[in-house]
Amino acid sequence: MFSNEMTELLNIKYPIIQAPMAGGITTSTLVAEVSNSGGLGMIGAGYMTPVQIREQIREIKKLTSNPFGINLFVPNEFRVTENEIKSSNQLLDPIRQQLHLPQQDNFEPPYFESVFEEFIQQIKVVMEEKIPICSFTFGIPSREWMTELKKSNIILIGTATTVTEAVENEKAGMDIVVVQGSEAGGHRGNFINRSQESSIGLMSLIPQVVDNVSIPVVAAGGIMDGRGLIASKCLGAMGVQMGTAFLTCIESGAHKVHKEAILHAKEDETILTRSFSGKWARGINNKFIIEMKKHEAFLPDFPIQNTLTQDIRKASILQNKQDFTPLWSGQSPRLAKNQTVESLIQTIIAEARKLISIEAR
């Protein structure tokens, strides 16, 4: 019932991928426990240095002998003016005051060249450490790097939010494509049309993508249990990638403030915002999002805005405040539980088996 082309490619028992959530959520224990429970654990390495990546890969190898993967952010070009930084800081300074943080006067914006160089160094570590699976968000690496990765026998997973993006991933040589529905928490993976408006629900996205690509499709967005797994499979996906469901697990490194916010949220409390990072992302609505809302169209691009809000995000969570913390969540927070990874995966599989037997009656 659960074995297919995708589970064979990834060499896993169940068609469940733990979403590679960046920012400290994917602890080595989380990743290893997912892989030990028959799914695919993934390191969310988007914001990690090459050194940190190497360390975590080695740590996880000690905790599991099953395959696990890693996710990298493909850098998008960005431009920024001093004025844009100044206006963004003018909006952020009153918030800094509320958090007892100093004003930011001499901000040094990151250069695209150095962001890109870091990305190449991340890829090199991935290849050197012989990690079997690597996924990408925000775009597709250049042909040159796709060839290098393939030479290293790494299974490559792309991310798409539309049919066109899925087709581009297939053309570029990805082995699998994750389709991210509008339900998904965290950053939107759009890389062709970068507006928020191409947010397509999974009920529409999965069948239209599978009709247009021949590589395995994995569904992501709002999937939390056996119902979501079997529904995704009926729509044509070979498996699912789940973020929020793993985020509230005991083994996840998400801060208590973040976990609690999700565990108490309702399905209509999340919103798309670009105020935290400069890229559209779905999280639980809070004071920061509300205060920045009318300016969000004019904020600097990712990763500039992300760097600008770094001190605020850190301080807010250290002070146990939901108000100025990005509370990334998909649209199914009512289905989130605080449980072990093993219990989550076992429950999904049991539910899925039961559902199929009921429908087949």
Residue closer to a copy of itself (CB basis): 25 or 223: 223
Structure tokens at 111: 């250069």
Establish if 330 lies at the interface with a copy of itself (CB under 8 A).
Answer: yes
Q: Which stretch binds a copy of itself (CB under 8 A): 9-17, 58-66, 75-83, 177-185?
A: 177-185
Q: Which stretch binds a copy of itself (CB under 8 A): 16-24, 84-92, 267-275, 315-323?
A: 267-275
Residue closer to a copy of itself (CB basis): 340 or 357: 357
Establish if 167 lies at the interface with a copy of itself (CB under 8 A).
Answer: no
Q: Which of 207, 250, 263, 287 binds a copy of itself (CB under 8 A)?
A: 207
Establish if 296 lies at the interface with a copy of itself (CB under 8 A).
Answer: no
Starting at the earlier edge strand, list the strands of the sheet with 270-273: 186-187, 281-284, 270-273
Establish if 139 lies at the interface with a copy of itself (CB under 8 A).
Answer: no
Identify whether the C-beta of residue 103 lies closer than 8 Å to the C-beta of residue 154.
Answer: no
- Could you check whether the bond before residue 303 is cis, i.e. omega within 30 degrees of 0? yes
Establish if 264 lies at the interface with a copy of itself (CB under 8 A).
Answer: no
49-88 residues near a copy of itself, rule: CB under 8 A: none
Establish if 292 lies at the interface with a copy of itself (CB under 8 A).
Answer: no
Contacts 24+ apart (CB under 8 A), 91-100: 91/291, 91/292, 91/295, 91/299, 92/308, 92/309, 92/312, 95/288, 95/291, 95/312, 95/324, 96/311, 96/312, 98/324, 99/312, 99/315, 99/316, 99/319, 99/321, 99/324, 100/315
Residue 55, class by beta-carbon neighbours within 10 Å (0-12 exposed, 13-18 middle, 19+ buried)? Answer: middle
Establish if 318 lies at the interface with a copy of itself (CB under 8 A).
Answer: no
Identify whether the C-beta of residue 46 lies closer than 8 Å to the C-beta of residue 306.
Answer: no
Structure tokens at 298: 């004019």
Provide φ and ψ at 343, rounded to 5°.
Answer: -65, -45
Residue closer to a copy of itself (CB basis): 102 or 358: 358
Q: Which of 150, 266, 318, 340 binds a copy of itself (CB under 8 A)?
A: 266
Compute, in degrees rounded to 10, the torsion defined by CA atoms 228, 233, 236, 238: 110
Establish if 243 lies at the interface with a copy of itself (CB under 8 A).
Answer: no
For strand 217-220 and strand 270-273, is the pairing parallel, antiparallel, or unpaired?
A: unpaired
Establish if 338 lies at the interface with a copy of itself (CB under 8 A).
Answer: no
Rounded Cα–Cα distance for residues 229 and 17 (Å)? 11
Residue closer to a copy of itself (CB basis): 142 or 204: 204
Beta bridge partners of 69: 42, 133
Identify the residue whose tokens are 């009656």.
361
Residue closer to a copy of itself (CB basis): 124 or 353: 353
E strands, 165-267, where?
176-180, 186-187, 217-220, 239-242
Q: How far is the CB of 237 from a copy of itself (least distance, A)?
A: 10
The C-alpha R_g of the chain, in whole angstroms, comes to: 20
Q: Which stretch binds a copy of itself (CB under 8 A): 12-20, 30-38, 52-60, 161-169?
A: 161-169
Q: Which of 205, 281, 308, 341 binds a copy of itself (CB under 8 A)?
A: 205
| Contact map string, positions 211 to 240, toward a copy of itself, x by CB under 8 A | xx------x-xxxxx-xx-xxxxxxx----
Total site size for a copy of itself, rule CB under 8 A: 52
Establish if 294 lies at the interface with a copy of itself (CB under 8 A).
Answer: no
Establish if 259 lies at the interface with a copy of itself (CB under 8 A).
Answer: no
Q: Which residues form the interface with a copy of itself (CB under 8 A)?
A: 1, 162-164, 181-183, 193, 197-208, 211-212, 219, 221-225, 227-228, 230-236, 266-268, 271, 330-332, 334-335, 355-357, 359-361
